[in-house]
Amino acid sequence: MPRQKSSRSESFLAKFARAATDWSGSSSAFGLAVLVILVWILTGPMFGYSDTWQLVINTGTTIVTFLMVFLIQRAQNKDSRAVHLKLNELVAAMPGASNRLINVEDLTEEDVAILHRYFVALVELAKSDHQLTKSHSVEEAQALHKKKFQSDCGSEPT
């Protein structure tokens, strides 16, 4: 039976991607990129600004761009996940906070739209108070909505 890696160990590819991400955002990487462009420009007259000379920089920049897209996406995914975890921790720790917002990013678009409507109602409720320090819950907004609907239509909302 193969030995399982612990959850804390990183694969070689993950370590390499992390190191490449860190390095590509450094001043050294920018300096190297500028140097490559300068060398390419200076060698233009030697190669008569030929199609091959242009193809070298086009191919090189295309390859670098292709790889950078994945490194940027990896970094963005990790940062986004970390921010969501921190926000989840805050929501979970706040007394009175709605725990339905923990992992809200995993909900369907329809569920997010429903939550958005609830919070729009909450904002409207807060605006009607004209007091910056007064707080309301989604449930209060729903109860107010239900009460308004009953007084307007004489029945409950569906």
Stated pTM of the model: 0.62
Angle between helices 12-24 and 51-93 (to 10 degrees): 100
Instruction: Report which secondary-structure segment, H or E, holds 130.
Output: none
pLDDT in tens, the chain (158 residues): 454 554 568 899 999 999 999 999 999 999 999 999 999 999 999 999 999 999 999 999 999 999 999 999 999 999 999 999 999 899 888 887 778 788 888 889 999 999 899 888 888 877 777 666 666 666 666 676 677 667 666 655 55
End-to-end CA distance of the chain: 57
Site of tokens 């029945």:
155
SS3 string, 50-74, reads CHHHHHHHHHHHHHHHHHHHHHHHH
pLDDT given for residue 38 in this prediction: 97
Q: Treating both helix axes as pointing N-terminal to C-terminal, what angle do 51-93 and 27-43 enclose, rounded to 10 degrees?
A: 170
Span 88-120, pLDDT tens digits: 899 888 887 778 788 888 889 999 999 899 888
